[in-house]
Amino acid sequence: MDSGNIAWAVTASALVLFMTPGVAFFYGGLVKAKSVVSMMMMSFGAMGLISVLWVLYGFNMSAVGSAWEFSGNPFADFGLAGLAGGESANADLLGVIFGATFAIITVALISGAIADRAKFGAWMIFAGIWATLVYFPVAAWVWGGGWILSLGDNLGLPGVIDYAGGTAVHINAGAAALALALVLGKRVGFQKGMDKPHNVPLTLLGASILWFGWFGFNAGAEFLAEGMPGVGLIAVNTLVATAASILAWLIVEKIKDGKPTSVGAASGAVAGLVAITPACANLTPGWATVLGVVAGAVCAIAIELKFKWGFDDSLDVVGIHLVGGLIGTLYLGFFATGTGLFVGGDAGQLAVQAIAAVGVLLYSFIVAFVVGFAIEKTMGFRVKNEDELAGIDTIVHGEEGYKLESV
């Protein structure tokens, strides 16, 4: 690795790590004033826990020797002592930290589905178990030589495209979020319009940090490529798909509710970022723009499903990350450069994209539901209704987000 690659690897890793505080701000602004600390702490708790687990054994699990291994051996190089002493330690350890940032934010994303009603200790136990049983193995399936990466070869079809995590990050987190929303049940008084964001500027700040960091998220892996040839395309697609998604969300919001909102703009940005994640290196900018329009419009509608179907996904993790991840992953089957159905390929690309998406969705949902249900029935995952109404910041953390009265 030359100095430019090294510098970009460190910068990209820092950008992606910064995205998790971005998630904390984005989610924190959307909840009640009396649960903002709890909401943000779930993201910061994930930063602490998942970083340690990744270094101890998660990185070892994220690569496999054959397509049909479940994961790598977690104890093969426990604590990475061997890797740190190897001949290529510099490049390898940069890969470790970059991978860690993806694991951290994937777990943090889930927390938005259980806002206002989850115990912090139970969340941390869930986060550790889910990361171990789901994220670390799925990372191996998608990027580390596992069955998803090898799916096209085994079926005689094009390879699955998931450049930066449509399946491993967004579908994975969105499916787990749906499972936890079902396990914990609805908030007290759940109905449309029950809670307004308590701090819109905080949400906009979070969305801005996410968009900023997403350039590292999408283009970061290019430090492994000599000359980083794909960075320009990835950066343009990350910009234009997100921008188009904002516009589409606002148009749908105006038609549907009569007013375009700043929270809608922030949500549209995140929806576009989610959708372009798997596709950023495999679309022309024109098709990336169309993807942004589709993602923004569909996700703006999809967030209403929780009211129609009766599950309380507090901050729309399902409507944005699961739906947006599915859109971006499947869209490649139609428009991936050279292999998409409408741009020189056939239905093979769509087939492998769909198999990968459904496989990750089902596995993550089932494991998250079982683990969440077990925690709820043993130590309890949800706070008492009276604690939810009183505000869980003081109950769970003994803190308040704002001290407004005069001293």
For 127-178, the pLDDT digits (tens) are 999 999 999 999 999 999 999 999 999 999 999 999 999 999 999 999 999 9
3-state helix, strand, coil in the chain (%, to 5): 70, 0, 30
Number of Cβ atoms within 10 Å of the Cβ of 229: 10
In this prediction, residue 405 carries a pLDDT of 66
Q: What CATH number corresponds to the domain at position 132?
A: 1.10.3430.10
- Give residue 407's pLDDT band: very low, low, confident or very high (50, 70, 90): very low
Tally of structural domains, the chain: 1
Which of 62, 64, 68, 152 lies closest to 354, judged by CA? 152
The candidate with the shortest Cα–Cα distance to 389, out of 202, 190, 112, 198, is 190
Q: So what's the pLDDT on residue 87? A: 82
pLDDT bin (cut points 50, 70, 90) of residue 227 is low
C-alpha separations of 41 from 21, 28, 184, 319 in Å: 10, 9, 18, 23
Asked whether residue 203 is domain-assigned, the answer is yes
Burial of 298 (0-12, 13-18, 19+ CB in 10 A): buried
Q: Is residue 287 part of a domain?
A: yes
pLDDT higher than threshold 90 for residue 27:
yes
**Range among 8-12, 188-192, 248-252 with highest mean pLDDT value:** 248-252
**Residue 376 confidence (pLDDT):** 98
Angle CA(306)–CA(308)–CA(314) in degrees, nearest 5? 20
- Say how many CA atoms lie within 13 Å of 54 toward its Cβ: 24
Asked whether the predicted pLDDT for residue 271 surpasses 70, the reply is: yes
Segment 342-391, tens digit of pLDDT: 999 999 999 999 999 999 999 999 999 999 999 999 999 999 999 999 88
Q: Is 12 inside any structural domain? A: yes
The Cα 276–Cα 84 span in angstroms is 34
pLDDT score for 195? 74
Identify the residue with better confidence: 228 or 4. Answer: 4
Residue 407 domain flag: no
Cβ atoms of residues 370 and 107 within 8 Å: no
Q: Is residue 49 part of a domain?
A: yes
Residue 135: alpha-carbon gap to chain centroid: 11
pLDDT digits (tens, 9 = 90+) for 95-112: 999 999 999 999 999 999
Q: Does position 263 have pLDDT exceeding 90, yes or no?
A: yes
pTM of the model: 0.96
Whole-number pLDDT of residue 5? 85
Percentage of the chain beyond pLDDT 70 is: 98
Question: Can you tell me the distance from the alpha carbon of 287 to that of 240, in angstroms, rounded to the nearest whole number?
Answer: 10
The answer as to whether 402 is a domain residue is: no
Q: Could you give phi then psi for residue 202, rounded to 5 degrees?
A: -65, -40
If one compares 358 and 85, the residue with the highest pLDDT of the two is: 358
| 78 assigned to some structural domain | yes
| Residue 251 pLDDT > 70 | yes
3 state DSSP class of 336: coil
**pLDDT, mean of residues 314-342:** 97
Q: Mean pLDDT, the chain, as a whole number?
A: 95
Residue with the two structure tokens 């970061």: 220
Contact 31, 115 (CB under 8 A): yes
**393 φ, ψ to 5°?**
-60, -50
Is 256 a member of any domain?
yes
309 Cβ neighbours under 8 A, 6+ residues apart: none
- Domain span at residue 364? 3-396
